[in-house]
Structure 1
């Protein structure tokens, strides 16, 4: 095969075949092909590191299984800080042998990767639920209580009730399910990380819809957060029905 064809072939091989083709290509006498082998070897190293990371971020789930829990949900939210739009929570329940590479805190992923994983998580999860609380309810009960409400809605949207919940940073009041709050849980627990992706992508989709309705505010860019562009739009056009008045008391 020509070097160009080899390079194209290698770019499309399955990850499980990396080692096989590293061995084959490294024996080729052509230096250009050996360089391809080195590049593939680096991809193999990166893949192994990712597999180790995915194993590591299942530690909390493994601990739950060892303590007798069998239906473990990870919970996270998106949208506590913005000036506009809802707060969204998600809960994800995985099988104990789940293996989805590149799941991570949604903030550490590109939008393209989040959208890709959004579909994979929904397809691979044993169960998932999403809860949404709008800006009017946020103003009525405050953002912390609205976040708890969104989490409870997400749990209620599951097919089955979890017997254990892993939650990013908080514990939910007034629920009869064992729960564990984990600081920076979206980077330490695979199910919380997956929930962070579902919550973030769901909320972003809503903000894109609001951008179509209120195009002068730039919601597709800042997703409702307090950027310079957003404050300037509020000053020029006033607030919309999706703005959180309780977050804007200083300028209303």
Structure 2
């Protein structure tokens, strides 16, 4: 499958006259719990030639788009962001972008831009924005999927993964790992809850994910109470970081020279 993905990326470069700097997996395969029929969620960062950025319509405005998207099919979901978009989001400590950067499945990387960006992650990362991102995701998904008498197995992970990511930020003060099994091992103590989560995870991966069954009370009690607790904790966070714009402008200009 990797070869097919690389062929698609090469086609994108030729069609759009760009160079791809980085491409990774961003979905359940990166999280470590794909289903048998999971597609491949490929995300990439690319850069145009220098003259493309010298326009009266800034990139990202009107028809001068800062994203490239391929039609989604049953096997591949491929989309990417222009480097300028990625750097502006990185400046804001954008969690989805940082998940791309930390994906355990990298399909392609070229040039030095991503190494330079990754080296800046600790100085750009803002715990309060990331923890609110994951808490909002967990809270919204809990309200949407876990409040009925019966629950689909896969929906538990839409709440547990962001919730454990938020807990990781609280405990370690750093961006959480993408892999769900790492979050489980480090953030859940041995006991009934951890055993129940691991059992559901095993069932999901063998294909039981769409089954509806009575909700797991031990998990619901944990998610409900942890969302409340972490929301109170997040209110205390408001750490300011030094503006990294000058450094990011430098990375952008250096990348244009290096690539083209």
- TM interval, short-chain normalised: under 0.3
Rg larger for: 1
Q: With structure 2 as the length reference, what TM-score do the two structures score?
A: 0.24
